[in-house]
Structure 1
Amino acid sequence: MATHDATWRYRDRFGDRYGRTYFRRFGPGVVSSIGAGSYRGEPTPEVDERHHEALVTALSNGCNVLDTAPDYRRGRAEGVVGDALAAADVDRDSVLLATKGGFVPFDGERPADPSAYVREQFVEPGLVDPADLARGSHAMTPAFLEAMLDRSLGALGVDAVDCYYVHSPETQLAARSSEAVYDKLQAAFEQLERELERGRIGRYGVASWEAFRVPPDHDRHLSLARVLDRARAAAESVGGDADDHGLAALQLPFNVHMADAFTSAHHEDPESGEAVSALEFAHREGLSVFASSALMGGDLVEGLPPDISAELAGDSPAQRAINFARSAPAVVSALVGMGRPAYVREDLAAGTFDPLGASAFDAVFE
């Protein structure tokens, strides 16, 4: 698992290449504010090889954040990430390794009959009850998360991950009431608190696509205040201190065209009752944000709106887009899909420029 001393050594090894705020605090140490995602790409051996080379390049050039999930690339991504981590000239304890649990993963390719696959691989062995599945593919019961963590640790070739996310809990809203989903989320957090005690995870979080960006009356909305309350209750339930819970991170999309995590006030501040954005809530509550889709699936490589681009530093549209995401409050790292070594070098070079300060970032939206 990542440690204070090892991550600081990593920072000292690469820090002179980058700007003053490139490395940021998370957990016991520091992490690069540009992270390597592993979501995109066809599930083929050729893409596996390319991604492996790109991830080794990233680790060897100042990126110590790796983000993956068991369902990415039809179940191939975790193995590639684990192999790259083992092959790179870096210590395991200098790298923040994050994965997720929630969606039923495939075994490298889409099965001919997905429903039969889920029944044979997950329902019949008792890993998940059909009643706990939403959309036939998502669960977050304690037993399922434990099994998924077992699977992830094996695929990654490690004994522990630094951050484990409950993946897209809003998917459960398709099958049950919001109150029932909060109950399930608390049960999931209780399991992750136990995994913290076992030493198999360093901290946990929630990775979401819509839940924290849509308004309270939306059928995919989840309240950050209530999520945080459930983490506190989970810590108490397993015999710990409510204020010493392990919920530390949020992952959500944030880029120039998907900025509602900053611009839309959909969450209630627990102290003041004021409506605030997801990023402002995270900032006030000390939750670290990992911004997914920083390049919007590659679309922003083609360019940004001219008025916004003019405010950002970088030699290319991709670098300016990454620096937009790195400038937002509470964002610790902007996650970028790194599928080719040449792209990795360009993306990481965004870190040689300073992101916008708070006032300048606010001014972009005026």
Structure 2
Amino acid sequence: MGFATFEETYGFAKKFSNYKDFYIKHNDLIFSKLGLGTFNKEPYKEENYVFHYIEAVKQAVRSGINLIDTASNYRYGQSEKEIGEALQELMASEEVKREELIICSKGGFIQLDFPFPKNPYTWISENVIESGLASKEDIELDQHCMTPDFLEYSCKKSLDNLGVKQLDIYYLHNPEMQMIKYGKKEFYKRIEKVFKRFEKLADDGLFKSYGVAVWNGFTAENDELISLEKLLETAVKVGGKNHRFKYIQLPFNMGKTNAYTTQTQVVDNEECTIFQAAHRLGIGIIGSSALLQMNLFKKSFSPESGVVLDDTMTLTSDIQLALQFARSTPGLVSSLFASKVPVHIKENCEISKIKAVSRSKYDLLYRL
């Protein structure tokens, strides 16, 4: 088992030739416009360990989704392990090949273990500090660490959890958490060390591409703001013109659209949005939290929004409309949503029955 390939991801998409506007080519891979995420909030709650994602992952693949996203700390490794179980079952039954799937994970948060350790501080001391992966000063808020050694350890642990030999994309997870602590100058020095290690890990075959996944790092209007242009300059510095820094991941949904509308970046001395910056710099954007952890649905969407998103009246729920919005966003490679219920995933993929919203109609939504 290796990386996703163009030939196999294209072959996967052809299995769903009746789908409309559901696949896109980017970096010589074919991505499904929806991807399965496996984040679950409030990880300390015991019920997060009762359910599993195994059947959800299998249903996602059977429904035409070939982008699967996770992180080493999601449910303290349980999400990765369950994805791994699902993939083994799917491949054993020859329903899918490894090369048809784009598998991504992230490192940066300290993942602890499951069951949750009685004393997490002792666990961190024994497994991170005493192991030489980082010093106490490298750890922010007892949860975030981005030393090269810790990130390499996290990546290898993710591969083991997932049961794969390589990842397609590996992200540095929420580095903005350390921006204020270090200040911009020191922060980018640390990013350089991380990217240098990531280039080595890519050379070693642990992953094909790497990126940076944020919550507000590219759109923040405070000292947490990260410059995409500077990240790319750093990647070129350590990896040359053939560097492997290819993707960013950020939240994008009907309730959080500032990545598309707010000029927070500068490229060639010109202010622009992060979407525009990524396009100009050749970096792919993966949208996360397409349903804003279900917080979008405290009241129904307006009828006007519904008509713009689906004038065929095919879609039956606000969840489908929200995914149709994210999937139609110009410049977005794919949008991640999380669900552990197979029937919900099948329903969500019903948006494939209709076309994506055109650019002109999509922009109307910002005037409603």
1:300 corresponds to which of 284, 296, 300: 296
Alpha-carbon distance in 1 for matches of 2:247, 2:86: 24
Q: CA deviation at 1:135?
A: 1.6
Q: Name the residue aligned to 1:209.
A: 215
2:133 corresponds to which of 127, 142, 147: 127
Q: CA deviation at 1:66?
A: 0.3
**Which runs of 5 or more structure 1 residues have no equivalent in the other structure?**
236-240
Q: CA deviation at 1:174?
A: 3.9
2:273 corresponds to which of 266, 272, 277: 277
Alpha-carbon distance in 1 for matches of 2:202, 2:77: 25
Q: What root-mean-square deviation, in Å, do the aligned CA atoms of Structure 1 and Structure 2 show?
A: 1.6
Alpha-carbon distance in 1 for matches of 2:114, 2:189: 32
Q: Name the residue aligned to 2:350.
A: 349
Alpha-carbon distance in 2 for matches of 1:289, 1:360: 21
Alpha-carbon distance in 1 for matches of 2:275, 2:248: 9
Tell me the alpha carbon deviations over residues 182-214 of structure 1, each in whole angstroms, 9 at most, x when there is no partner: 111111111111111111101011000011111
Alpha-carbon distance in 1 for matches of 2:357, 2:188: 36
1:250 aligns with 2:248: yes
Alpha-carbon distance in 2 for matches of 1:351, 1:105: 35
Which secondary structure does the structure 2 equivalent of 1:329 belong to? coil
Q: Name the residue aligned to 1:219.
A: 223
Q: CA deviation at 1:113?
A: 2.3
Q: Name the residue aligned to 2:35.
A: 35
Which secondary structure does the structure 1 equivalent of 2:15 belong to? helix
Query: Larger deviation: 121-130 or 61-70?
Result: 121-130
Q: Is the 8 A contact 2:229 2:281 kept in 1?
A: no
Residue type of the alignment partner of 1:264: T
Q: Is the 8 A contact 1:327 1:355 kept in 2?
A: yes
Q: Name the residue aligned to 1:238.
A: none
Alpha-carbon distance in 1 for matches of 2:209, 2:108: 17
Alpha-carbon distance in 1 for matches of 2:139, 2:276: 32
Alignment of 1:133-148 (within 5 A): 133-148=139-154
Q: TM-score, normalised by structure 1?
A: 0.92
Alpha-carbon distance in 2 for matches of 1:248, 1:358: 24
Alpha-carbon distance in 2 for matches of 1:137, 1:300: 28
Which secondary structure does the structure 1 equivalent of 2:335 belong to? strand
Q: CA deviation at 1:301?
A: 4.7
Which secondary structure does the structure 2 equivalent of 1:222 belong to? coil
Count of aligned pairs: 352
Q: Name the residue aligned to 2:262.
A: 264
Quick one: percent identity of the two aligned structures?
30
Q: TM-score, normalised by structure 2?
A: 0.92
Alignment of 1:4-23 (within 5 A): 4-16=6-18, 18-19=19-20, 21-23=21-23
Alpha-carbon distance in 2 for matches of 1:315, 1:269: 41
1:107 aligns with 2:100: no
Alignment of 1:46-195 (within 5 A): 46-48=50-52, 51-88=53-90, 89-195=95-201
1:340 aligns with 2:341: yes
Alpha-carbon distance in 1 for matches of 2:198, 2:27: 16
**Which runs of 5 or more structure 2 residues have no equivalent in the other structure?**
none
Which secondary structure does the structure 2 equivalent of 1:76 belong to? helix
